[in-house]
Structure 1
Amino acid sequence: MDWSDLPFFLEVARSQQIGRASVILGVDATTVGRRLRRLEQAVGQRLFEQSPTGQILTVAGLDLLERATAMEEIAAATRITSDRKPEIAGTVRVSVAEGFGTWFVSRHLGRLADTYPKLNLDLVASSGFLNPTRRETDVAVLLARPRRGPLRTRKLTDYVLRLYASADYLKAEGAVPTLNDLRTRRMIGYVPDIIYAPELRYLDEIPGARQPSLRSSSINAQARMIASGAGIGILPCFIGDADPMLVAILPAIRIIRSFWLVTHQDTSLFPAIRAFSDWLTALVATERQVLMPPGTSRS
């Protein structure tokens, strides 16, 4: 028996309708039905009868309900400490974009560790993402909403990107008051043929901008090149505004992207995974001005 099927059984038993249970569980009705069939095959008996109003427990279903409810209560009790707060422990692996992990998430992880001292966190911040569908990661913060897979997905936040240059560069090469002036400047950006997400093709959205001649798959490397005076590039404001060596230019140019919080539907409610997901959601709400500077909104 796959114990992860029991929550599906319990919700159908309580709501007496697969459709209603699917809404509560946040998955489609087909998934709920498939989980119930797999559970019936494992126990070797029918657990529900179909009635005009929904699903009715069989004798075998009633027996399983009694045992599963007892197991649920025991499991809940083991997660409750003496002060009645959930005991958050274990390891959570989180896959995020390199820049978001380096310049935003990592700066606040000390607070997470103080809140949950028994929680271990593996922050995988790289150019590319681990796949929650294949259980490569517990939590992924993606640039686009996944279109398929047994996943729970919600929008985490929008964020803004702008053009940046170093103060030394602008002093040496001159200001960039208009888009026309951008046409002759050296640009810094991603390596076109190894961009791992189409959402990173920022320069395509700036009329007349030259293709980058200094390129890297790393947003951190791009930020260092821009700060060193090598040229002009596009950075998320949570990177560009945090670096005192960088100056935002052409204020009318603002590109908006989104981060999506993704977990596997079978593990998303595990206490440690849910605790981290809730913590990150609260963090981006608190730090909204860092991600979406004042005066910026999605049209």
Structure 2
Amino acid sequence: MQAAPAYLQVMDWSDLPIFLAIARTGQLAKAAQSLSIDATTAGRRLRRLEQAVGERLFEQGPDGQSLTPAGERLLTHARAMERAAAAIGERDAGGPVRGTVRASVSEGFGTWFVSRHLGALADAHPGLSVDLVASSGFLNPTRRETDIAVLLARPRRGPLLTRKLADYGLRLYAARAYLERHPVPTTPDQLRHHRLIGYVPDILYAPELRYLDEIPGAPPPQLRSSSINAQHRMAAAGAGIAVLPCFIGDADPDLARLLPDIAIRRSFWLVTHEETRHFAPVAAFSEWLATLVAQHRAELEG
């Protein structure tokens, strides 16, 4: 068994929270804000920790601070200490979950589904803080950019734990106002007479988003956006026909489903780093989300 580094015996463990916060946020200022301290104090504590380790822990890049090899090594030990401290705190306090969890989800899933239920999670765990990163793209649990990611495909490598969260359905939708101005398509080949809305093909963040490729005869989209929310807004405004997740399209009373035989299926995968799976905030959020999607399976599958 590999011995623990000698610096773990001499460093000030109270400096580890700022190290962990920078590793999670990638920015000293954001890390300081998350710990309710000023950036000067955070910088001083980081330098003190680096002096104890004897190496730089972060390097500055165009997108913020990233871990050096020494920082990656320390992160393994710091995470273990954090989990142990959280477990002790939960035992002493009778079990309430305390801490922060960051979850990276797709823009549509985060905006239209997860966010509207987060209040119930906060009520159940008053000591739990949640960073919901809902965007066109995903943060990477392998690089410790996030604690949890909900992906559109199962990762093939990395120290990750993955489980299927849910299937979800997608359909063609158009605004009722659009259908008053244009003939309703009754076969897929009639879509060529309509304006389609879709993703920008050369900047897709996941190949699973190539929905229109699965519809025979569908022309390329004339109106394109990297944002599913923007695509929804275009469709709702009567600009054309869009492929939308059913949990988005069915939630908008101004939209109508088209071509009932065209049903696209995708899956959500819940991914965590194997070293953080027992960290109480990660476990609490993961189990809550798994239970939530099971309760709303019909809504997601459409």
Relative to the length of structure 2, the TM-score reads 0.71
CA distance in 1, matches of 2:197, 2:256: 15
CA distance in 2, matches of 1:184, 1:269: 54
Q: 2:289 aligns with which of 280, 285, 290?
A: 280
Call closer, same or farther: CA 1:110–1:190 in 2, change over 3 Å: same
Answer yes or no: is 1:204 the counterpart of 2:213. Answer: yes
Secondary structure of the 2:91 match is coil
CA distance in 2, matches of 1:143, 1:160: 13
> Residue in 1 aligned with 2:128?
119
> Residue in 1 aligned with 2:90?
79
Q: 1:219 aligns with which of 225, 228, 240?
A: 228
| Structural mapping, 1:95-134, within 5 Å | 95-134=104-143
State the AA in 1 paired with 2:243.
I
Secondary structure of the 1:93 match is strand
Report the alpha carbon displacement of residue 75 of structure 1 after superposing the two structures with TM.
6.9
Call closer, same or farther: CA 1:74–1:203 in 2, change over 3 Å: closer
Structure 2 residue runs of 5 or longer lacking an equivalent are: 6-82
CA offsets 1:193-222 (integer angstroms, 9 cap, x no match): 001100000000000001001000000000
CA offsets 1:97-152 (integer angstroms, 9 cap, x no match): 00000000001001011000111000000000000000000000000000000001
> Residue in 2 aligned with 1:41?
none
Q: 2:158 aligns with which of 141, 149, 157?
A: 149
| Structural mapping, 1:110-259, within 5 Å | 110-259=119-268
CA distance in 2, matches of 1:223, 1:206: 19
Structure 1 residue runs of 5 or longer lacking an equivalent are: 3-71, 294-299
Sequence identity percentage: 65
CA distance in 2, matches of 1:193, 1:75: 44
How many aligned positions are there? 222
Call closer, same or farther: CA 1:290–1:77 in 2, change over 3 Å: same
State the AA in 1 paired with 2:247.
F
Pair member with larger Rg: 1
Call closer, same or farther: CA 1:135–1:76 in 2, change over 3 Å: closer
Relative to the length of structure 1, the TM-score reads 0.72
> Residue in 1 aligned with 2:65?
none
Secondary structure of the 1:108 match is helix
**Residue pair 2:86, 2:98 contacting (<8 A) in 1 also:** no
Q: State the superposition RMSD in angstroms.
A: 1.6
